[in-house]
Amino acid sequence: MWNQTVDRALVSGVPEKQILEVKQNEIGQKAKASIQKSGRNPALFKSLIMTAIYALELLLVRYLEWLWKRLIM
């Protein structure tokens, strides 16, 4: 699901830099901290991925709202 959400964001015009920031903040850093604290836990990792997908979807919605406002002005 993460890859599909990334594809939707890219096709919609969300800058790749912003997508990579979400990936680093929501997956990279949090997964590293989680593994250090709790060890490898697939259920927890799945939860991190779902949270990252939600964060990316929010970014996509905000970008599309910004784009829409820019187009109608």
10: in domain: no
How many domains would you assign to the chain?
A: 1
Asked whether residue 68 is domain-assigned, the answer is yes
Which domain does 62 fall in, by range? 18-72
* pLDDT at site 73: 76
Tens digit of each residue's pLDDT (9 = 90 or more) over 1-26: 999 999 999 999 999 999 999 999 99
pLDDT tens digits along 26-47? 999 999 999 999 999 999 999 9
What pLDDT is recorded for position 62? 98
Q: Would you call 5 helix, strand, or coil by DSSP?
A: helix
43 belongs to a structural domain: yes
Q: What is the pTM of this model?
A: 0.90
**b/e map 3-36, b = 16+ CB within 10 Å:** eebbeebeeeebeeeebeebbeebbeebbeebee
Evaluate whether residue 9 is within a structural domain. no
CB 32 within 8 A of CB 23: no
The contacts of residue 1 (CB under 8 Å, 6+ apart) are 49, 50, 53
The answer as to whether 11 is a domain residue is no
